[in-house]
Structure 1
Amino acid sequence: MEDIEVCYKNTSTGENVNLFWDEVPSSSLDEEDDLPSSGQEVQRISVIHNLPDLLRDTESHDECMRRVVPKVREVLHLAQTDMQLAATSAFLQILQKNLVPIQNYSQTFLQTILNSVDSKDPDVASAWLDTLLDVIDLLPKEVIKKEILGSAISKGQLAQSVQSRLACCRILGKISTKFEPFVIKKEILPVVQSLCQDVDYEVRGCMCRQLDCVARGLGLEATKSAILPELVELTNDEECHVRIAGLETVVNILSLLDAETCGTTIIPLVCKICQQAVQAEDATLPVVATQLGKLCHGIADNLTDEQKQWFIDFYKKLCHVGLEKNKASSRVTTPVIDKDRGGSKESDLTDIFELEDKLVECRKNSAFNFPCNGFILWCKTIQT
């Protein structure tokens, strides 16, 4: 076994610092007996933490790129979580501080980031994905198109794992604002539409949350023809998680739309979402109460007096939800247990308490959002 020693000057103390990387032959990395000891692991983490300083120092830069960086990249796919997390931070700092040319970064560090996003460890994969999203903000459009776009599209195929498709959603959302509309329409939009129809509800919800970013890249006309139909369908999804994502995306996309689209599509859609939330009394109800102020503010200029009155009445209903005597009395009554379905009194009571919590949260959110709803102003407008 050979040690790689790199010496650099600590910028904070001015002292020369020696760092060692215990070189393990790649052919032996798969053998359990040859895995690095805890001491070696600590030393390697220290080297990775200091990579930005090594590359900043002119005396150690070239040797670090030639000897240390290849060894770091080589062992990362087998490394423990602590080493992986150290690398995510170091790799991002290297780009943020412009310590290597973009071309060199793309050929080395970026390739490792892209490969590590597919880690089987969900926590490690998530950390690398967050790093990739931060890196995208700092890369030129040409590099993103050449090195990242194709990889992202391949991750979004149905044959890939759910984890991979979820990563694809977030990457596509991030890079959609980097390209011209015709590139988005040709390369990205088909994958986006496919992910909106994915068989897994988490993927549908994740892609839904990125639709406003895709819409900003596409422009108004393409958004009206390609994004809004998907969004309308997602707000009617069978899964509550997806419907919530749809509602939040409606709020985020309002500023992109023209008056005609708001009047013909968005306002009827919002009214339908509100009605369904009250009827179902599910997890969407507190979210509607939270977002109602932003919704009303975004569509206020396109509302008729009759529609304004409808939203005032709906807001009043949210403020009183769960307080009606008939509902209160029915909820405190012990439920009838269906023995054939294997029901239990404890589980039914738990459902009741969870529902009550949602209704309380709904009223609390309604009170919190009162100032931004502008209902008093609307009332004055209607009265005059």
Structure 2
Amino acid sequence: MSNLNESNKKKFSKDAFALFNLDKLSKRDLKTADQIQQHTVDGYLESRSIDRAVHLLLNGDEMQILNIIENIPNLLKEDIMGCLQRVIPRLHQVLLYGCTEYHMSACSSVQSIAQQKIISPEQFTKAFLQNIITSIDSKDTVAGEAWLSTLVKIIDIVPSKILETQVLPIFIKKTENSRPVKVRLTSCKGLGRLATILPNQIAIKSVLPVIISLCQDASAEIRSSICRELPKTGKFLSSDNSNLIGCLIVLSKDEENSVREATIQTVSQILQFIPEPILKSTIIPLIKNMFEKSIHNEDPNITEVARTIGLYCFNLKDYLFDGDKVWFLSRYIYLSQLSINTRRKTDKFAFVESTEEEIIINRLERCRQQCAYNFPAMVVFASNLGQQLTLLETVLKKFSCDPFYLVRKSIASGIHELIKLQSKWLPLLKDVFIKFLQRENEMVIEGLIPNVREILSTLKGHCSGLFGSEKIDCWKEITQALLDCEQMLLKSLNWRLHCDFIYQLNNLPKQFPYEYINQYFVPFLSERIINTRSVPSRMASVKVFLIIMIDESQIRQREKLKNKILELCNSSDFYSRITFVRAMSILLELSVKIFKTFFFLDLINMTGDKVPNIRLETCKMIPKLKAISLDPFDRKSLAAVEYSIEKLKFEKDKDVLDQIKIMKVALDALENMKIEGLKKDLLDTGMVVSPERKVTLPKNTDRGKGPPAKLPQRLKLCLNGLFRRRMRKRRKYIIMVAVKHIREYTKKQNFATFCDKIVSKNLN
């Protein structure tokens, strides 16, 4: 009965699976012989990319032509002259009557060529500019707008003379009232780019009048767009500023919110270009007027005011009187406290639609967020205002408790700056820092984590300056907050954030007393090394653990920490052993001395591990291990490396064998480098080897002083061993020993009798 049920189940599953019709092609899906013939290219064209491109532009279908157009940048990289002389002219013919998709793809390719600077400006201008100018007036409006946008983006690569004679008239013409708004907006961007590229005289004469006239355009979109281009004309403010300043004054009073918002943004960007007298007499009153209107009316521009107020205050602090500074500071404090309950225009009995209320709440939240972002700039601005500075402490406390998480995230990302700016606030900032670590969610902590290392370095001085129980409590609070934050991130499953947090602890030995490190951080790091599932987090823990181990303050605990690492090596768990091998790669970058003292032989023995992946990782490190054994020379370590290489000759795993080939290449390169070093050592003893490898010996200055002293017995043995066939494998190492004795011997005697022998028979 059971067999019958199983057969029915199998039959049912096959029938259900057949309903999907997987991997079944209908006759419609199959290509006909004509279609196959049409899409087949002759074999000789496959290796000739230029000929193939020309052939497909002439005879290919729509998809093939699009493919060639998109591939033009790569064709230019392969053969510039062939592509310019054969492919580009054919492309222009295709675009003449081509569809919109051809033009859009060609625009993308031209922009890519200009950005990558594949060809020279002269070649680019000759090959593409005239076709771009012609295509701008295409009957296809979509293609024309795309080519106009392309012209704006390639302005930088076109010579200035051609910009003046051919490109500038196009943008001026396209800004006329009869043109579509989208075309005029693109032309406004083009005029702004030209104002920065063209010579000053030409820009003042030809570009600036057009920009000023567009500031008075009937379309609010045009006024807003051209206003955002005014910062690019800032270099003209010092020479002739009356018209531009007048335009800014008019635009600041515009009836459209978008224009006033653009004006607030523009003025903040051109402050550095405006002369001091005009700043004090015109610009500062203008700024105060714009701010006051936006804040009083609570219009949509209030978020732009909150975004730029820090920039305004920072750039104007040297030009403002104390009364003006207090005014700006009071407006900032008001903006930082805006919420649905503190609005100026509040009517409890008025009916407000839910969507409108959501928009208002969102606007006020973004306003507070921008204020939190500008808080460090406002601290710098108010640093000389005395009692007014204390008002910002209250603002900081409110920001740290704000219901909108982005406000808290913004203030968290600036704590490291506040600690540097106001040392008097260290107790308050320490409490805020601990609060964020212990009670916040991962989205807020994401803004804090990149600067944790810097914050801890500053708080170290604060805690070290305390005495008695206060000092102990300070260290304990910070330590516990860090551990709580790490535990929360571990549970959040956001392994990237958890990994970044652990990396921020890589300066612990310099930030915490060693007692706290051994009591709190070493146990938690040991746990993470073994049990953390995320490999990046595990390796981050390993690196911090190794940094603690090699620190001089941990000399007494080094043996204990070393044994913790060796437990990974001797573990039966594959993940622990592979972690050990990767940990040794990190330790080699941190301290070669510690590695060679404690872990060299243990790592070498991993070449005999039963798991191929571990042998593979160890093979990658063998060239480094041999280099360490040779410099300085260590017979025991070198013998262990050579023995491990011999064992690898019996390897059968394919991936490990591939790595062994790479390892042998690296070892050969190491040997060649060592031979070159030995040649240099011999040269340093007094020889000069010419490019033809002829040896020139120093003059014998010992003539007439009796027979030379006998060679040392060890040196004789080394020299004799060099020329024995059975010693050829170790000849390089014997040379090293010989050089050592040569140096000792040549301090007293001339060595012309045997130096020629060494160089001619061994190094040549």
TM-score of the alignment, normalized to the shorter chain, above 0.5: yes
Name the structure 1 match of 2:103: 84
Name the structure 2 match of 1:61: 81
Q: Structure 2: how far apart are the matches of 1:53 and 1:269?
A: 53
Name the structure 2 match of 1:50: 71
Q: Which has the higher contact order (CA 8 A, sep 6+)?
A: 1
1:196 corresponds, among 202, 207, 215, to 215
Does residue 354 (structure 1) correspond to residue 359 (structure 2)? The answer is yes
Q: Structure 2: how far apart are the matches of 1:121 and 1:250?
A: 39
Deviation string 1:241-282 (CA, Å, 9 cap, x unpaired) is 111111110011011112111111111111111111112211
* Cα offset, 1:323, TM superposition: 5.2
Q: Structure 2: how far apart are the matches of 1:359 and 1:43?
A: 53
2:203 corresponds, among 171, 180, 184, to 184
1:120/1:376 CA distance change after superposition, 3 Å = farther
Q: Structure 2: how far apart are the matches of 1:117 and 1:126?
A: 7
* Cα offset, 1:47, TM superposition: 1.2
* Cα offset, 1:334, TM superposition: 4.4
* Cα offset, 1:197, TM superposition: 0.9
Name the structure 2 match of 1:235: 252
Count of aligned residue pairs for this structure pair: 347
Q: Structure 2: how far apart are the matches of 1:298 and 1:117?
A: 42
Deviation string 1:223-245 (CA, Å, 9 cap, x unpaired) is x2121111121121111111111
Does residue 164 (structure 1) correspond to residue 188 (structure 2)? The answer is no
Report if the CA contact (8 A) 2:227-2:266 is conserved: yes
Q: Structure 1: how far apart are the matches of 2:361 and 2:116?
A: 51
Deviation string 1:159-192 (CA, Å, 9 cap, x unpaired) is 2221222122100100111223221221112211
Report if the CA contact (8 A) 1:95-1:135 is conserved: yes
Report if the CA contact (8 A) 1:308-1:378 is conserved: no
Report if the CA contact (8 A) 2:322-2:385 is conserved: no
One-letter amino acid matched to 1:287: E
1:121/1:250 CA distance change after superposition, 3 Å = farther
Report if the CA contact (8 A) 2:307-2:370 is conserved: yes
* Cα offset, 1:122, TM superposition: 7.8
Report if the CA contact (8 A) 1:319-1:367 is conserved: yes
Name the structure 2 match of 1:369: 374
Taking only aligned residues, the RMSD between alpha carbons, in angstroms, comes to: 3.3
Secondary structure (helix, strand or coil) at the match of 1:137 reads helix
One-letter amino acid matched to 2:239: E
Deviation string 1:45-80 (CA, Å, 9 cap, x unpaired) is 11112223333444x834x44553234224436645
Name the structure 2 match of 1:379: 385
One-letter amino acid matched to 1:157: E
* Cα offset, 1:349, TM superposition: 3.9
One-letter amino acid matched to 2:292: Q
Q: Structure 2: how far apart are the matches of 1:287 and 1:56?
A: 45
User: Normalising by the residue count of structure 2, what TM-score does the alignment of the two structures yield?
Assistant: 0.42
Q: Structure 1: how far apart are the matches of 2:44 and 2:243?
A: 55
One-letter amino acid matched to 2:71: N
Q: Structure 1: how far apart are the matches of 2:341 and 2:115?
A: 57
Q: Structure 2: how far apart are the matches of 1:196 and 1:274?
A: 21
Q: Structure 1: how far apart are the matches of 2:137 and 2:360?
A: 38
Name the structure 2 match of 1:29: none
Name the structure 2 match of 1:265: 282
Report if the CA contact (8 A) 2:152-2:193 is conserved: yes
1:40 corresponds, among 53, 61, 79, to 61
Q: Structure 2: how far apart are the matches of 1:207 and 1:143?
A: 23
One-letter amino acid matched to 2:192: G
Of 67-76 and 136-145, the range deviating more from structure 2:
67-76
Q: Structure 1: how far apart are the matches of 2:198 and 2:214?
A: 20
User: Normalising by the residue count of structure 1, what TM-score does the alignment of the two structures yield?
Assistant: 0.79
Runs of 5+ unmatched residues, structure 1: 25-38, 336-344
Report if the CA contact (8 A) 2:70-2:105 is conserved: yes
Does residue 147 (structure 1) correspond to residue 166 (structure 2)? The answer is yes
Q: Structure 2: how far apart are the matches of 1:77 and 1:355?
A: 51
Q: Structure 2: how far apart are the matches of 1:6 and 1:199?
A: 60
* Cα offset, 1:145, TM superposition: 1.1
Within-5 A mapping of 1:104-143? 104-117=123-136, 127-143=146-162
Q: Structure 1: how far apart are the matches of 2:65 and 2:161?
A: 33
1:275/1:122 CA distance change after superposition, 3 Å = farther
Deviation string 1:343-376 (CA, Å, 9 cap, x unpaired) is xx7xx44323322221222122112211112344
Deviation string 1:327-354 (CA, Å, 9 cap, x unpaired) is 58625x442xxxxxxxxx7xx4432332
Runs of 5+ unmatched residues, structure 2: 1-37, 390-764
Does residue 220 (structure 1) correspond to residue 275 (structure 2)? The answer is no
Q: Structure 1: how far apart are the matches of 2:139 and 2:225?
A: 20
One-letter amino acid matched to 2:106: A
Does residue 282 (structure 1) correspond to residue 303 (structure 2)? The answer is no
